[in-house]
Amino acid sequence: MSRRIHKGALVAKDVFQCLDSLGVTVANPAAIQLYVERHAGLAELVAQIATDVRGACLDLPLALELVRDPEDAEMVTLVLYLRPQRLTSTDFDQARAWNDRIAERMANSDAWFIVNVDLRGNN
């Protein structure tokens, strides 16, 4: 599976088209759209990381969610969840590697975007 993300000004609707083509489940798309629109460069980054994750995890269910910090209601994080049926150490290693790439690109951003392994699995 080879998908290329074209460089340029991606907007939130482009991200949703990309995620849909990758089979990524999106929880609360309206809230995610607002979050992505508020942060320059986030749309392109989400699309690229989701494409890379899907390429490495062809059959793994993926979900994008906006998660609120229970202790700080204003703190939200956009999370791309890997949902393996059985957890392996490789799942965590891959998530860590993608997060390193995200951190490099978002060093000067006030947005939060991470890849995480959903410990609840694919329920």
- Per residue in 20-50, pLDDT tens? 999 999 999 999 999 998 888 888 899 999 9
71-95, pLDDT tens digit by residue? 887 788 899 999 888 888 888 888 9
Number of independent structural domains in the chain: 1
Centre a 10 Å sphere on the Cβ of residue 4 and count the other Cβ atoms it contains: 7
Residue 121 has pLDDT above 60, yes or no: no
User: Per the structure block, which two tokens stand in for 69?
Assistant: 């910090």
What range defines the domain where residue 36 resides?
12-117
Is residue 100 situated within a structural domain? yes
Is residue 61 situated within a structural domain? yes
Contact 98, 52 (CB under 8 A): yes
Output the pLDDT for position 122. Answer: 53
Handedness of CA 7, 11, 13, 16 (dihedral sign): positive
Residue 62: which pLDDT band, with cuts at 50, 70 and 90? Answer: very high
Q: How far apart are CA 1 and CA 11, in angstroms?
A: 23
